[in-house]
Amino acid sequence: MAILPSIDNTHNKRELTDKQQAFLTYLVETQGDAKEAAKLAGYSSHYHHVVKTLKSEILELTQEVLANSAPKAAFKLVEIMDSKKPIIQANNKLAAATTLLDRVGVSKVDRIDVNHNVQSGGIFLMPDKQPLDLEDADYEELSE
């Protein structure tokens, strides 16, 4: 498989059993089919328990798969942009590539120009606030 990441759990806090390690390897080989991966790894119980137990490792593996696919998504964006021929489902491919790049942290940057040219206008200063004298004012008291 082209996007098969290297599964190295030496940097994780906990040690995985051979069966757990096999599950993660098969999870990639089956392209995310947890039920099939559990079966291939030798689990006889429900695969939901395995997924729950290995949740953090599965999330890490998912991030690695997306990161490995990021260059492909970037090249797909460029290919669609440079193509002189119509591309079938170009909008869907653009959306998928953009979403994948956003999820791995490669996204468009919104920038706002906050520079202000002081020479062209200056600063407007407001006058000091004057105290409000209510004793001299003409007002009517309302009863409840």
Q: What is the pLDDT of residue 40?
A: 94
pTM, to two decimals: 0.58
Of 55, 58, 39, whose CA–CA distance to 47 is shortest? 39
C-alpha span between 32 and 137 (Å, rounded):
77
Q: pLDDT per residue over 5-28, tens digit each?
A: 555 544 546 899 999 999 999 999
Q: What is the pLDDT of residue 34?
A: 93
Query: Residue range 115-141: average pLDDT?
Result: 70
* Secondary structure of residue 28 in the 3-state scheme: helix
Q: How far apart are the first and last CA of the chain?
A: 81
- Which tokens belong to 48? 């939901």
Q: What is the pLDDT of residue 12?
A: 46
Residues 89, 92, 94: CA angle, nearest 5 degrees? 105
C-alpha span between 81 and 26 (Å, rounded):
36
- With 90 as the cut, is the pLDDT of residue 130 above it? no
As a whole number, the mean pLDDT across the chain is 81
**Phi, psi at 101, each rounded to 5°:** -65, -40
Q: Which residue has the higher pLDDT, 11 or 141?
A: 141
Q: What is the pLDDT of residue 27?
A: 94
Locate tokens 């082209």: which residue?
A: 2
C-alpha span between 21 and 24 (Å, rounded):
5
Q: pLDDT per residue over 41-84, tens digit each?
A: 999 878 899 999 999 999 999 999 889 999 999 998 898 888 88
Q: Which residue has the higher pLDDT, 85 or 143?
A: 85
24 touches 8 (CB < 8 A): no
C-alpha span between 74 and 72 (Å, rounded):
5
